[in-house]
Structure 1
């Protein structure tokens, strides 16, 4: 079963009394709220307690700009909402291993989840990741970058997909709802970050 979710179907995203300050800030900023509405989110039920969630957005910048932001792993908490920690750690086989901690409020209590991810970079098309240790039974996914052109303008279709399998102690419905919001917020934040960095680069 696949269902699509958009910003207008997401009452928490547009509520002034939401859990997170960032979501409230997004609502207050009409431009950012309009951008969030353009993020497509799909939720697919893989099994009873397993979900695949995908989010997609168009960014009017070349693939290289988006890649630069996505692979600056330790800077991700500077602009991604609810990501408290992201640090590179030693990989036994010399690959890319990343420890991340997400922190937020769910049902009026603080919720924190830690994952250790192994990443595979396939420049310039995709970044794949899978959990090797953490607070889920399973967690994996990918970033996919696809260039597009509109006349003389070049941009990137950015798609973020995760497959999540929560532990029995985690209500799958709450996790599904929270992660679908997070994916939307993350793509909005990445869009902003890419545009901000591009505006600071000197014209050639």
Structure 2
């Protein structure tokens, strides 16, 4: 799970990822020696220019780029939409079940200005078992740049992170999802394998939702 559930891949987890794809609330990149157009632009305000060339190329291709390990993750995706549309989707807490992977319900339970608490129910599918979990997450909004989130209640030791919104152009935005998660599960390798798959799926789903809104 991630901020909106709650959202990198180490070599020893590769054997889990194929069998556990599509579970839990969520790239192995080929090397390239060619600088992308975004890198060549090199604008001081370009949030992508400082990233490695292979990550830039993957983002430009539409992929979600996941880095990190063992509960410390950063996932990015580039979307073709204005900042206002991105913000609308990332703060649509009552409708996360419509596009968040494995979320079956989501609703705001507390609303105090820029601080919202929302409750989600999500389903974990892993090999021979299916498990339903309920979590409450507090989100603090700093319009239009960032949404910080943390676990209020749920079956995790801890969860916290942020969504960051960085405009690349008037109708192009880099979305960055950073999260730190510590499970209660004894089999942490299994948990992280599931979580990593879901985190990539989450960013792809957010991209799709944002770009659908943008053309309405």
Q: TM-score range by the shorter chain?
A: 0.7 to 0.9
Give the 3 Å change call, closer, same or farther, for CA 129–105 of structure 1 in structure 2: same
Listed as ranges, the gaps of 5+ residues in structure 2 are 1-7, 24-58
For the pair 1:159 / 2:176, whether they are aligned, the reply is yes
Structure 1 runs of 4+ aligned residues shifted over 6 Å read 9-13, 34-37
Q: Once the two structures are superposed, what CA deviation does each residue of 1:65-91 show, in whole Å capped at 9, x if it has no partner?
A: 110011111111011111112111136
**Is the contact made by 1:56 and 1:160 (CA closer than 8 Å) also made in structure 2?**
yes
- Measured after TM superposition, the shift of residue 112 of structure 1 is 2.5
Q: What residue in structure 2 maps to residue 53 of structure 1?
A: 73
Q: What residue in structure 1 maps to residue 36 of structure 2?
A: none
Whole-Å Cα distance in 1 between the matches of residues 99 and 203 of structure 2?
11
Listed as ranges, the gaps of 5+ residues in structure 1 are 22-33, 46-50
Aligned pair count reads: 172
Whole-Å Cα distance in 2 between the matches of residues 94 and 160 of structure 1?
19
Equivalences for residues 90-169 of structure 1 within 5 A: 90=110, 95-149=115-169, 154-167=171-184, 169=185
Q: What residue in structure 2 maps to residue 41 of structure 1?
A: 66
Give the 3 Å change call, closer, same or farther, for CA 171–37 of structure 1 in structure 2: farther
Q: Secondary structure at the match of 2:156?
A: coil
Q: TM-score scaled by structure 1?
A: 0.73
- The root-mean-square deviation of aligned C-alpha atoms, in Å, is 3.0
Give the 3 Å change call, closer, same or farther, for CA 82–172 of structure 1 in structure 2: same
Of 83, 87, 107 in structure 2, the residue corresponding to residue 67 of structure 1 is 87
Q: TM-score scaled by structure 2?
A: 0.70
Q: Which has the higher strand share?
A: 1
**Is the contact made by 2:82 and 2:173 (CA closer than 8 Å) also made in structure 1?**
yes
